[in-house]
Structure 1
């Protein structure tokens, strides 16, 4: 293995580490508040679906282990968010999201050739899931309830992962697109916090 491959792998695992801990501040905030106020349920349901497709397709197609770990970590995180909506908002239908992995498993099993295309559902889910969250922030004119630590880690994870794909090309451009979208997700919400004056340095309380 060349030094470039080693460095790329290190960046890939660093990206996975960022994605592993990124939602800890947000999850702790929800747990302490006993609330999911400020977060969009639609956003996280779409994220969960995309994470299932990334994990299943990356596992079957033999992507870099850090990419597979990325998908697995996302699954755990987003299912925890589903539990919070079940627990704090009594949205019982979210329990059915546990069946989500059936979709990519059936698709890849019946039509193996679509695997390289279904992995694009991850970055697409990141884009379309982000729209409801941005709309919620826009209507409320505040990012209160959204953890900026989470968004900062999301941006850093996306950046490290993107650089990794330049050094160790993935089997599908969908992986690269997922990291690019992660940068966009984190960056736009941090920008929104500054724009609406919610930044801690501007006197608002941030999480």
Structure 2
């Protein structure tokens, strides 16, 4: 394929990537509001798992730090170049992550207003939340004493977010099962979250394919 044709094709795919990125941004961003609105309408969080909310806040805190660091930090960007690790973070990633953290925190805050007496953070969730926080603290010390790089700590936070994404809905599923009801839990949260996740993964893979550099997906340095 001639260079001019390849360049035109690349520009076209970049446009597609941008469209996918902003679509998933809207889908994921909107997904948080039905639950917050439902809580406000019912003046209750009965039927909503407290564990899920804490997992969500921690996950999006990690995700926000990761995206903000990769997008704004010259140190992280330089380490990306030096170690051939692709930086695929875009403006919509940063906007989504910070917005998600803020609205998740707002929804968690609703539990302190509408909270039922029986609802509290479980021992399991307390342990699972404490472990990555302690790990991040150890990572900061390792960076301070030159044991690891900042980019390594950022990838650690991304793995925490990934792990939380796998487990965060389990407490809600278990609560629904015990109550034999989904009253108090917005189905639109799940539908929009799933759609946004699929589009996000699609954009990540497309960007890696366009650049020919898959290290931004795997986190494995060449």
Quote the residue 2:28 is aligned against: 19
Provide the residue aligned with 1:7 in structure 2.
16
Structure 1 contact 51–71 (Cα < 8 Å) conserved: yes
For the pair 1:168 / 2:207, whether they are aligned, the reply is: yes
1:39 aligned residue (37, 45, 48): 48
Deviation of residue 14 (structure 1)? 0.8
Any unmatched runs of 5+ in structure 2? 1-9, 72-88, 122-128, 209-213
Deviation at residue 56 of structure 1 after TM alignment: 0.5
Higher-Rg member (1/2): 2
Whether 1:64 and 2:103 are equivalent positions in the alignment is no
* C-alpha displacement of 1:130: 1.4
1:149 aligns to 2:188 (yes or no): yes
Q: Which runs of 5+ in 1 are unaligned?
A: 175-207
| Residues in 1 aligned to 2:60 and 2:198: alpha-carbon distance in whole angstroms | 18
Quick one: higher RCO (CA 8 Å, sep 6+), 1 or 2?
2
Shift of the 89–34 alpha-carbon distance from structure 1 to 2, 3 Å rule, reads: same
Aligned residue pairs: how many? 169
**1:108-127 residue pairs with structure 2 within 5 A?**
110=144, 111=148, 112=150, 113-127=152-166
Offset from partner CA, 1:53-98 (integer Å, 9 cap, x none): 111012212322222222112111111112101111289x99xx9x
TM-score (norm 2): 0.67
Give the aligned CA root-mean-square deviation in angstroms: 2.9
Q: Deviations over 1:28-68 (max 9, x none)?
A: 11001111111111111011111011110122123222222
Asked whether the equivalents of residues 11 and 164 of structure 1 are also in contact (C-alpha less than 8 Å), the reply is yes
Query: If the length of structure 1 is used for normalisation, what is the TM-score?
Result: 0.71
Give how far 1:152 is off: 1.3
1:144 is paired with a residue of what secondary structure? coil
| Matches of 2:137 and 2:21, distance apart in 1 | 25
Q: Which residue of 2 aligns with 1:130?
A: 169
For 1:88 and 1:73, locate their aligned partners in 2 and report how far apart those are by CA, in whole Å. 23
Distance 1:172 1:70, change over 3 A: farther
1:124 Cα deviation from its structure 2 partner: 0.8
